[in-house]
Amino acid sequence: MKVNKQKSGKYNRYCTVTKNTAKERLREFWGVFQKDDDVLVVINADPDALACAMAVKRLLRYRVKSIIIGYPNEVRRLSNIAMMDLLKIQAERMQNLKLNDYSKKVMLDSQPSHLPIFENIQFDVVIDHHPVTNSWKATHVDIRPDYGAASSIMVEYLRAAELKPSVYLATALFYAIKVDTHNFEKKARLADAISFRYLFDIANQNLVRKIELSELRLSELGYFKTALAEMKVSKRRLYVHVGRVRSPDILVIIADFLNQVHDIAWVFVSGIHGERLVVIFRCDGYKRNAGKLAAKIFGNLGSAGGHKEAARAEVPLKNLDLRDNVFTTATLKNITTKHLK
Provide the CATH number for the domain formed by 220-337 in this structure.
3.10.310.40
What pLDDT is attached to residue 320? 87
243, 226 contact by CB (below 8 A): yes
What pLDDT is attached to residue 50? 98
E strand or H helix at 160:
helix 150-160
Alpha carbon distance 203, 194 (integer Å): 14
Neighbours of 24 (CB within 10 A): 15
Three-class secondary structure of residue 3 per DSSP = strand
Max CA pair span of the chain: 59
Which residues of the chain form CATH 3.10.310.40? Answer: 220-337
Burial class (CB in 10 A: 0-12, 13-18, 19+), 5: exposed
The torsion defined by the Cα of 155, 160, 161 and 165, in degrees rounded to 10, comes to: 30
What pLDDT is attached to residue 16? 42
Q: Which residues contact 220 (CB under 8 A, 6 or more apart)?
A: 250, 253
Alpha carbon distance 260, 257 (integer Å): 6
- Quote the pTM value: 0.68
Buried/exposed code over 49-68 (b: 16+ C-beta within 10 A; e: otherwise): bbbbbbbbbbbbeeebeebb
Residue 15 is which amino acid? C
What pLDDT is attached to residue 329? 95
181, 149 contact by CB (below 8 A): yes
| pLDDT under 70: residue ranges of the chain | 1-19, 323-324, 341
| Overall residue count recorded for the chain in this entry | 341
What pLDDT is attached to residue 1? 31
* Structure confidence by residue, pLDDT tens digits, 104-117: 999 999 999 888 88
What pLDDT is attached to residue 14? 42
251, 267 contact by CB (below 8 A): no
Provide the CATH number for the domain formed by 3-212 in this structure.
3.90.1640.10
* Structure confidence by residue, pLDDT tens digits, 217-258: 888 899 999 999 999 999 999 999 999 998 888 999 999 999
